[in-house]
A = this chain, B = another copy of it.
């Protein structure tokens, strides 16, 4: 029978267009044209919808990957999923994580569950679908396809679903309206009524629908960013104006895997909950000493952490007022704070942390999702 062997390689980036880390992996034979399945990264820049750092990174990585695969740059998306999240405020090191997958012949299922990965692209999402049921359904379908690709059938084995969907731009709004369509918002920011967060949140509800976390019957255009009781505990979503399709990567654990990696996840109970971050490391199998992650394990076994940093919708944390919701820079600061929460636990800055939205269907109200990939013990 077939089993997966998945690896995750984290390459810090010196500039948005830096492909030297990937090239070194390619030169060393660690990534191959037929094993590379996803590039997941944080790119430096404003993090806004017109973040040229992210756009340039996307162009440069797509060009490099095209050459690596031997296909035109505009066909790369058929082979490798890109999830580039813009903005590295604070203590988030710009980096690209390359995810590879080999299929190997094995005599039987493994004795324990190990990391598997699956990916899928969605149908195109026109601007009028952004932040609405059209986007939700297409993400749900793609999530199901990615689970199938990963060989995962039980949602409990799914620990992380990364999704990148189209947002809106001035041009795409104009396009929609010229065709007599409305759009969910004319606000192109990631502010509380911005198109960016509607896109992210529709994507999260799409994942929740696919995993059965939210029944389809409860979903409608009207619940997006209104009914916060509906959410996914494993969806991390982002959006970019230049995209036309959604892209989904599912990470889970399966007996049909010979990976040396395992993934786990947890949810923080509020915005300052370092324990939630520690629980994600625990869930993935990291050892703890005296209530804190073992230093040796952090150095040798922790491969990567993926976290959201959504700003709570309330102005209260544990009963005290904060002013973050009122802050003109809340989007940047909210993302930066998540980076600090994670880095203060992992002891490193190369963590994938996206966020800055105010409230989200990614995780429960006030809490955030954290997933960790850990190397299994020899």
Contacts and interface: CB of A to CB of B under 8 A. Distances in A.
Interface stretch (A9-17, A119-127, A147-155, A370-378): A9-17
B318 A349 contact: yes
A170 interface: yes
Nearest to A195: B193
Given A193-B187, A333-B333, A343 B272 contact: yes
Contact of A17 (B59, B272, B289): B59
Task: Give the secondary structure class of A's interface.
Answer: loop
Contacts of A105: none
A313 to B, nearest CB: 8
Given A50-B323, A318-B349, A337 B187 contact: no
Interface stretch (A27-35, A256-264, A324-332): A324-332
B50 A324 contact: no
Contacts of A318: 347-349
A341 B313 CA distance: 21
A91 interface: yes
A327 B91 CA distance: 11
Contacts of A56: 16-17, 52, 55-56, 59
Indicate how many identical chains form the complex: 4
A92 B272 CA distance: 11
Contacts of A170: 315, 325-326
A98 to B, nearest CB: 17
A337 B334 CA distance: 10
Interface of A: 12, 14-17, 44-46, 48-53, 55-56, 59, 88-94, 170, 185-189, 191-194, 271-274, 289-292, 313, 315, 317-318, 320-329, 332-334, 336-337, 339-341, 343-345, 347-350, 358-359
27 contacts: A45-B52, A46-B328, A52-B53, A55-B56, A88-B323, A90-B324, A90-B333, A90-B336, A90-B337, A91-B271, A91-B272, A170-B325, A185-B193, A186-B193, A187-B187, A187-B194, A188-B192, A272-B344, A289-B291, A291-B291, A291-B292, A317-B343, A317-B349, A318-B347, A320-B349, A322-B349, A340-B344
